[in-house]
Structure 1
Amino acid sequence: MKAIYLESINAPFVLIEKEKPTAGPGEAVVQVKAAALNHRDVYIQYGRYFTKEYPAILGSDGAGIVTEVGAGVAPDWVSKEVVLDPSTDWGDNPGVHSKEYKVLGMPQEGTFAEYVKVPATNLHEKPAHLSFEQAAALPLAGVTAWRTLFTKCALQPGEKVLITGIGGGVALAALQFAVALGAQVWVTSSSEEKIEKAKALGATGGINYKTENWGKALKADVGGIDVSIDGAAGEGFVQLVKVANPAGRIGMYGGTTGMIGQINPAEIFWKQLNIYGSTMGTNQDFAAMMAFVREKKVTPVVDSTFRLEETEHAMRYMEAGKQFGKIVLRVG
């Protein structure tokens, strides 16, 4: 089979031929039809991920067709179109993952290949309204957004939501989930074009985060935010505290702009704010997210598609940060 190979830190992604995997007990082999990129893949390429096991076949997100199942797996899975839950070994505590927690694509071989082997418990039938490319755009970003919005921040219909850095996969999934639930959503971006695209997806409005003291301006406009979803941290996090309503919730799933700036503690304790850290999600989170996507007919936003052999080029495109939606590899 063809696969994308990362030999070592800072090496380019290259196309190779390797042996097709075989399903063991409790496992399934999936012919990958589409796989999506995540920033996790770039971090691994640069050696900035906490797991460092090279060489590697990366890729956490995938959708395809089951071709083989091992002992103990229902044979009727064969030939089904599926989406892959990328998480394994979360552990017994739903509040936090165990030390053994893993995400497909390192250390296990991932979806940047024509075939991938996964635990059969990680198979979910592909929603009929999604193409393989759209389905592949869902798993890691979708479950991260779901857990942050609902498991942690307990978003309710009608509440006011702020999503920072719109355009990335998690932010867009959070936008689509919140809109489908019936929340009112505002977004931030440095691009007016991305804000307008977010409005087309159902956002009520948005603000440019390069605007000085933008939190104060947004609060004056909307009257305060109940739930903020943030993947940036940095100096902008101060604005999330300022714009929060009393008893507001802030869910953070990343920190792309670095250390959080100076915050007045009184703004947190006097408003009785709740700040939640969240990353990826449990198998139960994933199943709930998939059920919601089916019910609400949520369609993930795909920015662009590349051929498997164009993975290195696709990574550099993602690194440039101009996309609006997920970047997907067509496989096979």
Structure 2
Amino acid sequence: MAISAELGNPATYTSTAGNISNRNYSASTVKYQQPSFTVAKQVIRTPNLKSIIDETRLMGWTNGDALAFKVDGDNYIGSIYQGGADAALQPKLVIKYSYSEKDAIGEEVIQDPAKMKNLFINEVAGMGTDTQADGWIEIFNNNDAPVFLSKDVFISDDANALDKSELSNIYIPAKGYRIVKANGTQNNASANFTLGDRDTTLYLSTKYDGSFHTLDTFAVKKMPYNETLGRFNDADKNLVSYTTGTYESSNNGATPLVNITPSQTTGMYKTGFDLTLKTDSINTIKYTLDGSTPSETKGTTYTGPIKVDKNMTVKVYAYNAKQNSGVQAYAYSLRDDAENIPSAKKRISCQSRYR
């Protein structure tokens, strides 16, 4: 099970559809494994809920507000009741705290921009996904302590205006993730610019001592709806494409797309040329020119342009530690009269030749 807390001042629950699921909950969760109940009126106790209480208070909870917790599980093991008039059976929230004149939040929460590090732009959806229709930017906190962005932390798509969009009132759990919408509206969890179908570079920066300090950069490329660009593993330097992405969760177990883009499409050409093959930098490309099938262990490793100076079929195979492209083939025919042959016939002829 996973326990989270509702942010703000929770309203009383009603029987309206979605009354629980549509509320705004903490990014922090506490994992909770509860064995099956063995006796009636069994007393149980959750793990320490400090992380979600800290986030709730940082996000604006004040004295007098209600507290509400959501428990998500994947199995039914029994029911818990309010306890009625019997005080011994009523649920209790037990709080232990250390008095402090400075702050009610533990010192382990990183709030000072000058002390922030290991924050990464982990994944980007330029056109949005089914999970979030707006474009979105995922930030990963690769620290062993939570981070609270309250002021002087910025996201920008302009190297000359690093303070373009300030991020504030954003709590990111240790080793956790938060989404910033790229929808052109400036508020706590939205950037005042959009991404759309364009190439750009994103900058995550802090400001202290009168100057900007870049924590991370991320080169965004054009991508369709429901496709994302993310790090091969969390905080990894290599960027790869994903179908639908890993919204506000780890990239480590995700399977990337492995695409190969040839500089010349299959067809007839009047003169020879150098064929270049593009793929994500983490991928290795193997190719063959003799009709055999390339694989991780067979074929020539692509390191530079392939000279096409005669009729040939180039078979290619790209792979990384998680996924491969499968075998793709590009058939090329050189003819003096290639320019006089309609393009449709060129494609049909080359496809027939390859078959």
| TM-score of the pair, normalised by structure 2 | 0.22
Q: Which structure is larger by alpha-carbon Rg, 1 or 2?
A: 2
| TM-score of the pair, normalised by structure 1 | 0.23
Structure with bigger RCO (C-alpha 8 Å, 6+ apart): 1
